[in-house]
Structure 1
Amino acid sequence: MDLATHYATGPAEDDRLARTPHGRLEYLRTQELLRRHLRGHERVLDVGGGTGVHAAWLAAEGHPVHLVDVVPAHVDRAAAVPGVTASVGDARGLDAADASYDVVLLLGPLYHLVEAADRTRALAEARRVLRPGGLLAAAGISRYLSLLEAGAAGTLSADRADPVREVIETGAYDGHAGFVRTHWHTATELDDEVAAAGFADTTVFGVEGPAWPALDAAGIAEYPHLAESALRAARIVERDPHLIDASAHLLAFARRPA
């Protein structure tokens, strides 16, 4: 199944970050980390921004946001968000002028680009459209997500063990737990790819921290009681080299050299 078909026919993208406890944690931590790095009201290009989940709050806080996505239905939804403009496009070939944005978000494209050469192209395009000194925020899925999710849920069956090992060893996720074929990162790999694309001062954070599988195991009804503790845990080890890859998602920040 191609990417556009998956998102057009699969679960609604609008509420992806609200359906599960770890999705809610991902949303809060992504907001927290972005706010930590943003400076004033900056021009934001949200590449692969879906229906505008993050574009909506960024625009509400005064950032002019243009969203690009490969799924036309997503673009239509995002274009209706106050303060957001949107267009169909591809991270590997952006329809934007050189140095035209203060911030570029790649919160989805890198894991959907399974070939390293395509991820390199997307990062090069992000660098091209950023002004000197501009901020990149690029997300990856951790190679350990499937292991931790299935292990905590009791679904790590014998026939799933080999695909789980494969994604840990290579980053090649075959869709064994749902979702489409994707590339999953380690923190070191994400750091290396961003730096190799010519960005400076790269820093990678673990987004959800190590407690997210416990949140999902407890269920959505318990989330309000457990969320603050999970948030604290995520903050404590957000850059700990021993636990960063225990997050479900990784978020790299870097700047285009001045």
Structure 2
Amino acid sequence: MQGLIAQYTDANEDSRLTRQFIAQMEFDTTMDVLKTYLVPEVKVIELGAATGRYSLNFAKMGYDTTAVELVPDQVNILRRKAKDQGLTLSIHEGNACSVPFIESNSHDLCVILGPLYHLHTQELREQAITEAYRILKPNGVLAIAYISRYFVAGMFAQQYPELVTPEVLSTLLESGLVPTPLADSFFNVGYFATPTEVETLITAGGFSTLRHVATDGFNRYISSGVNNFTTEQYQTWLNYHLKTCDEPSLLGASNHGLLLARKINE
């Protein structure tokens, strides 16, 4: 856990989601997918809120918002930004796997857009889903993001050929982990899933799948083109992407996947 906190201390998550069109597409796609569930009077909680790119946006849109973040440095930034922007939301330092300070059956929408990237064991992943189930109201909706291990293997081939070894690729394929000193610390603290694994995890946790989208589609592979679009071209391409991101064949190839599911009442 300390390695994970160190990885994200001083990290600029907001910049990652805005500095290039290819990253902006991740944010725009996620917000477009969530808009169906962002209805009046909805209570939203984000587990793993980082510096608040999404939580602050939910609060700005007028929703009753709670943000939970593990890394103290990120929590401080989030609190400062909320104050600077005059936004009211509930902010907590905490672990997505255990949020006892959040009341059961209290929220309509639970958004988890980062923690699954780092939960190395099945037990921890199940704990996060169990907590999401607990804090959601009956028929509440969970939105959970993951990074595809198939995309990560392709990234190694393109950018990190030193990681294209039988040991690294077989471990990645079998476990979703990259525990080699040859890799950047981001990969060492990461967990990379398959679309099927995430669907199985959610279903076993008491949810029924609503929608499963390829957040980036194949756009990361053509990033040099996308990042050089004009604003008008980006909007045109985004509109095309939003019409195709539900295509199942894109899921494994996409950098990020986003699964939406509804709580099945006990």
Query: The TM-score by the shorter chain falls in which range?
Result: 0.7 to 0.9
Which TM-score applies when normalising by structure 1? 0.88
CA drift of 1:49 comes to: 0.5
Aligned with 1:251 (options 258, 261, 264): 258
Which TM-score applies when normalising by structure 2? 0.85
SS at match of 1:139: strand
State the alpha-carbon separation in 2 of the partners of residues 224 and 148 from structure 1: 28
1:13 and 2:4 correspond: no
State the alpha-carbon separation in 2 of the partners of residues 35 and 113 from structure 1: 27
CA drift of 1:187 comes to: 1.3
Aligned with 1:238 (options 230, 233, 245): 245
State the alpha-carbon separation in 2 of the partners of residues 194 and 96 from structure 1: 20
Between the two proteins, the alignment pairs up a number of residues equal to: 253
Matches within 5 A, 1:27-38: 27-38=27-38
Aligned with 1:196 (options 186, 200, 204): 204
Q: 1:69 to 1:214 in 2, by over 3 A?
A: same
Equivalent in the alignment of 1:142:
148
CA drift of 1:219 comes to: 7.2
Q: Kindly provide the amino acid, as one letter, of the partner of residue 15 in structure 1.
A: S
Gaps of 5+ in 1: none
CA drift of 1:36 comes to: 2.8
Alpha carbons 1:191, 1:203 under 8 Å: kept: no
Matches within 5 A, 1:98-113: 98-113=104-119
Q: Kindly provide the amino acid, as one letter, of the partner of residue 234 in structure 1.
A: H
CA drift of 1:73 comes to: 1.9
State the alpha-carbon separation in 1 of the partners of residues 19 and 179 from structure 2: 23
Matches within 5 A, 1:87-126: 87-94=92-99, 95-126=101-132
State the alpha-carbon separation in 2 of the partners of residues 16 and 100 from structure 1: 31
CA drift of 1:39 comes to: 2.6
Identity of aligned residues (%): 26
Q: 1:178 to 1:52 in 2, by over 3 A?
A: same
CA drift of 1:43 comes to: 0.8
SS at match of 1:45: strand
1:161 and 2:167 correspond: no
Q: Kindly provide the amino acid, as one letter, of the partner of residue 97 in structure 1.
A: E
Equivalent in the alignment of 2:64:
64
State the alpha-carbon separation in 2 of the partners of residues 125 and 111 from structure 1: 17
Q: Which 4+ runs in 1 deviate beyond 6 A?
A: none
CA drift of 1:241 comes to: 2.4
CA drift of 1:23 comes to: 1.5
State the alpha-carbon separation in 1 of the partners of residues 5 and 20 from structure 2: 23
Q: Kindly provide the amino acid, as one letter, of the partner of residue 116 in structure 2.
A: L
Q: Kindly provide the amino acid, as one letter, of the partner of residue 187 in structure 1.
A: P
Q: 1:63 to 1:155 in 2, by over 3 A?
A: same
- Greater alpha carbon shift after TM alignment, 120-129 vs 181-190: 181-190
Alpha carbons 1:141, 1:248 under 8 Å: kept: yes
State the alpha-carbon separation in 1 of the partners of residues 104 and 67 from structure 2: 17
Deviations 1:78-102 (A, max 9, x none): 2241122211111111021111111
SS at match of 1:184: coil
Alpha carbons 1:191, 1:202 under 8 Å: kept: no
Alpha carbons 2:106, 2:137 under 8 Å: kept: yes
Gaps of 5+ in 2: none
Q: Kindly provide the amino acid, as one letter, of the partner of residue 142 in structure 2.
A: L
Equivalent in the alignment of 2:4:
3
1:173 and 2:181 correspond: no
Deviations 1:7-52 (A, max 9, x none): 114x322312123442111111111111133332311111101111
